[in-house]
Amino acid sequence: MAEIHFLGVVEHPNLVKLVGYCAEDDERGIQRLLVYEFMENGSLEDHLFMRKPSPLSWKMRLNILLGAAQGLAYLHEEIDGIQVCIRFPLHLANVCVTMHIPVTINQI
């Protein structure tokens, strides 16, 4: 639950916002469903592997990488009073492309 609370209070233009969650205890243990804001343009993976109709220019790709780096730097260095332990792999599928590029990172 501390992780969900943390994700709910983290706010940065390059991080996807957690909208809500549901936790249910069943025979497999606690099952969590996290609901993030909708990213209509999909992930960087979608764009690089042609699942989206329009390819990204090199300038857009560099802007996306810069935005992802800014989001990661915020998680690692800029959260005042909170010790952050990043436990997710950064895959292309975790980098979401917005309409006006800055990009956002899906934390989980």
Q: What's the pLDDT at 85? A: 61
Is the pLDDT confidence value at 88 over 80? no
Helix (H, G, I), strand (E, B) or coil at 15: strand
Domain made up of 2-105: CATH architecture: Orthogonal Bundle (1.10)
The whole model's pTM is what? 0.70
DSSP annotation of 20:
E
The 10s digit of each residue's pLDDT in 35-70 is 888 888 888 888 888 777 777 888 888 888 888 888
| Backbone dihedral angles phi then psi of residue 30, each to the nearest 5 degrees | -75, 125
What single DSSP character describes residue 43? B
H or E stretch covering 68? helix 58-73
Q: In the structure encoding, which two tokens stand for residue 63, read together?
A: 């802007």
Cα–Cα dist 74/40, whole Å: 24
Query: Where is pLDDT greater, at 4 or 34?
Result: 34
pLDDT classification of 108: cutoffs 50, 70, 90: very low
